[in-house]
């Protein structure tokens, strides 16, 4: 059976991490969040984590070669997975091309790119809300949050066109209850 490899896409605060938790349970997938992987490196105070922290605290993207290397290692470590949810990856054209290369080499391509769509003011509200308890520097201040959204619009949003050209893009309304949004995602997966 072919693998269910899905890109869960959307701006910061769209609900990617939140919805991934439901989808991995339902479909038995492996969750690969580059944000979580980077925060793990920061916690362990690795060289990579120390380099990434400054960029993440400002709301800037981490260089492509770092996140591509992390994803490559994780894919190789889960060769028996039924599929992957890529959460927060790819975020640039170079990352999208590298991911296609890795998966096409195994004849296990991305089957769908599910894009959660949420208005900017709602994103800011959610992230400031999370910042009250998360301890994340990048959630703690509105100008950093707006920088993350600008980075997304400039470097990440154009990937919609990349996946549209492959016939894999599916837009999903990301406003509503968690359960309703999960239902929309499940319907889109089919
Ligand atoms: P990420 O960890 O990917 O963080 P994120 O964009 O904030 O999304 P996250 O998944 O955590 O939040 P969610 O929307 O679920 O990235 C952090 C940083 O890491 C980036 O800025 C960058 O520096 C670096 N990075 C990561 N990947 C990279 C890459 N590939 N290349 C380069 N740099 C990279 O949830 C947000 C909040 O909304 C939560 O509080 C949640 O409870 C709430 N929420 C969710 N759904 C809701 C709903 N329906 N209604 C109300 N609230 C909801």
Nearest CA to ligand 1 atom 28: 34
**Residue 144 sits in a domain of what CATH number?**
3.40.50.300
Number of domains in the chain: 1
171 beta partners: 115
10: phi then psi, degrees, rounded to nearest 5: 150, 165
d(CA 141, CA 153): 19
pLDDT at 110: 98
Is 141 a member of any domain? Answer: yes
82: phi then psi, degrees, rounded to nearest 5: -75, -15
Nearest CA to ligand 1 atom 17: 35
Nearest CA to ligand 1 atom 19: 35
Is 190 a member of any domain? Answer: no
Is 101 a member of any domain? Answer: yes
pLDDT at 20: 97
d(CA 101, CA 96): 9
pLDDT at 10: 98
Q: For helices 178-189 and 16-27, give the axis angle rounded to 10 degrees.
A: 60
Active site residue 91: yes
Position in ligand 1 atom list of the atom nearest CA 60: 23
Is 80 a member of any domain? Answer: yes
Going residue by residue through the chain (190 aa), what tens digit of pLDDT does each one get?
689 999 999 999 999 999 999 999 999 999 999 999 999 999 999 999 999 999 999 999 999 999 999 999 999 999 899 999 999 999 999 999 999 999 999 999 999 999 999 999 999 999 999 999 998 999 999 999 999 999 999 999 999 999 999 999 999 999 999 999 999 999 999 9
Mutate which of 15, 95, 119 for ligand 1? The one with the most ligand atoms within 8 Å of its CB, which is 15
By residue range, what is the domain housing residue 42?
A: 5-185
166 CA from centroid of ligand 1 (Å) = 25
Q: Are 169 and 115 in contact (CB under 8 A)?
A: yes
DSSP 120-149: HHHHHHHHHHHHHHH--GGGS-HHHHHHHH
Please report where in the chains the tokens 């990301």 appear, as a residue: 174
Active site residue 130: yes
Q: Are 145 and 128 in contact (CB under 8 A)?
A: yes
Q: Which residues contact 159 (CB under 8 A, 6 or more apart)?
A: 9, 90, 91, 92, 93, 96, 113
Q: Is the distance from the beta carbon of residue 34 to the nearest atom of ligand 1 less than 6 Å?
A: yes
Is 111 a member of any domain? Answer: yes
Nearest CA to ligand 1 atom 1: 35
1 CA from centroid of ligand 1 (Å) = 31
Q: For helices 34-43 and 47-58, give the axis angle rounded to 10 degrees.
A: 120
């Amino acid at each position: 059976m072919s693998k269910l490899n899905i890109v869960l896409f959307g701006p910061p605060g769209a609900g990617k991490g939140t919805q991934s938790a439901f989808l991995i349970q339902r479909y038995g997938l492996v969750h690969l969040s580059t944000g979580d992987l980077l925060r793990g490196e920061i916690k362990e105070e690795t060289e990579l984590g120390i380099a990434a922290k400054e960029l993440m605290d400002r709301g800037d993207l981490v260089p492509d070669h770092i996140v591509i290397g992390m994803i490559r290692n994780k894919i190789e470590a889960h060769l028996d997975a039924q599929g992957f949810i890529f959460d927060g990856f790819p975020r640039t054209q170079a990352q999208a091309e590298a991911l296609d290369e890795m998966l096409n080499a195994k004849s296990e391509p991305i089957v769908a790119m599910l894009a959660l769509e949420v208005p900017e003011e709602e994103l800011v509200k959610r992230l400031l809300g999370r910042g009250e308890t998360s301890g994340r520097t990048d959630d703690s201040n509105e100008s950093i949050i707006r920088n993350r959204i600008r980075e997304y619009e400039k470097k990440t949003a154009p990937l919609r066109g990349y996946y549209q050209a492959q016939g894999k893009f599916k837009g999903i309304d990301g406003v509503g209850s968690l359960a309703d949004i999960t239902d929309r995602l499940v319907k889109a997966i089919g």
